[in-house]
Amino acid sequence: MKKIVITGMGAVTPLGIGVDTYWKNIISGMSGIDTIKSFDPSELAVQIAGEVKNFNPCDYMPKDLIRKTDPFMQYAYISAEEAIKQSSLEIDPKRTGIVMGTAMSGIATIAFTQDALSGASHKKVGPRFIPKILGNIAAANIAIDHNIQGPSFTVSTACSSGGDAVNMACMCIESGKADVMFAVGAESVLCPLVIYSLANAKALSRRNDTPSSASRPFDITRDGFVIGEGGGALILETEEHALARGAKIYGEIKGCGNTDDAYHVTAPHPEGRGAIECMKQAIADAGVDASEIGYINAHGTATNKGDAVETFSIKKVFGDKMPYVSSTKGATGHMMGAGGITEIITCVKAIETGVIPPTINLNEVDPECAGIDFVANTAKKADIKYAMSNAFGFGGQNSCIIVGKY
């Protein structure tokens, strides 16, 4: 097995743009959730989200590209640019590839375009509509700008998309198809169409009057998740390739897991069947003992069933050797495909800095979730060597990535 290392990271989040800004704000306990500003939400039952704030794409990318891209593509592009810069990578076109993860691609552009078209003329539909909504075009824009000619895949496995992008990128390296892979995740689904559907399914928090405390993972008063948006990117390389070019190494991908509950399209298996197997699979792939995992960045969306089942699953896997666990979705909201990457970055930074980010808005742990230290509200110092990132999605999709200190 080839040792796969992380040499670059990039993040666009509701807590700020750039890995350093994101990390500073996440460990300080800041919330990135507020009333929606990108459109008027006043007639909606849910009016809050974790939006990327003060975002001007002109500050980060060419103007002609902005006109051709959906916001989720812009977040992917900008996070990839930061990761490339951090890695000081000189791209070998045929030995470099990219895997993009996104749950719903350009659904907001689809919804707003249809709204403009209704009762209007066909001229309301721009010629760039199709390439703006396709998931793979996010990867294509990055590949075109950087002449990346190697493996190119786009995965859409609901909320596991980002983690699965990392898994597939590792597979490409391990198979010898590439020396370097970009793993990118991005999402921007904020539109009335998506909000109505999730609100009618009773999946979303309705705490419109107190947005900063609306997302409450593992808390007894939690009432659903908050939609987030953003992007994340990792540069992954073989250790041999990274050392040969003198790259700074931020961490190592130790193990990956991917399973399906084979149970229900939205609800998790009540006994955590897929989640348990996914975590065990990643631990076995990493070649470590469960007791060596010092921190888990939980999926922790603040839904009643999801948080309870994940807690049960973690207890089954780790027993009395329980690591610290926190959900950063209390601060960012649920960033879907993007979260799988930014939460892996969170694990890398936790190992690097010796700081465990908090689960904000956790004031009273639900009895069904008791028995775990969720690092409530205030970050903790801890020397850890390995950390795990969980991402569980609709369709029973489960992803688990373990990163380690290099």
Can you read off the two tokens belonging to residue 337? 């495909």
Can you read off the two tokens belonging to residue 36? 């929606």
Can you read off the two tokens belonging to residue 344? 């892996």
Signed CA dihedral, 261, 264, 268, 270: sign only: negative
Rounded to the nearest integer, the mean pLDDT of the chain is: 97
191, 334, 347, 400: which is the annotated catalytic residue? 334
278, 299, 347, 369: which is the annotated catalytic residue? 299
Confidence of residue 118 (pLDDT cuts 50, 70, 90): confident
- Is residue 299 annotated as part of the catalytic site, yes or no? yes
Q: Which of 118-132, 201-215, 257-271, 371-385 has the lowest average pLDDT?
A: 118-132
Residue 160 has pLDDT above 70, yes or no: yes
CB atoms within 10 A of CB 90: 9
| DSSP-derived 3-state class of residue 135 | coil
Tens digits of per-residue pLDDT, 282-292?
999 999 999 99
Per-residue confidence (pLDDT) for residue 122, from 0 to 100:
63
| Cα–Cα distance measured from residue 207 to residue 326, given in angstroms and rounded to the nearest whole number | 22
User: Residue 354 half-sphere exposure, CB side, CA atoms within 13 Å?
Assistant: 3
> How, if at all, do strands 180-187 and 96-101 pair?
parallel
Confidence of residue 121 (pLDDT cuts 50, 70, 90): low
pTM metric for this prediction: 0.97
Residue 245 has pLDDT above 80, yes or no: yes
Tens digits of per-residue pLDDT, 358-397?
999 999 999 999 999 999 999 999 999 999 999 999 999 9
Per-residue confidence (pLDDT) for residue 123, from 0 to 100:
66
Residue 315 has pLDDT above 70, yes or no: yes
- Going along the chain from its start, the domains and CATH numbers come out as 1-395 (3.40.47.10)
Q: What is the percentage of the chain residues whose pLDDT exceeds 70?
A: 99
The torsion of the CA quartet 304, 305, 308, 309, rounded to 10 degrees, works out to: -160
- Is residue 334 annotated as part of the catalytic site, yes or no? yes
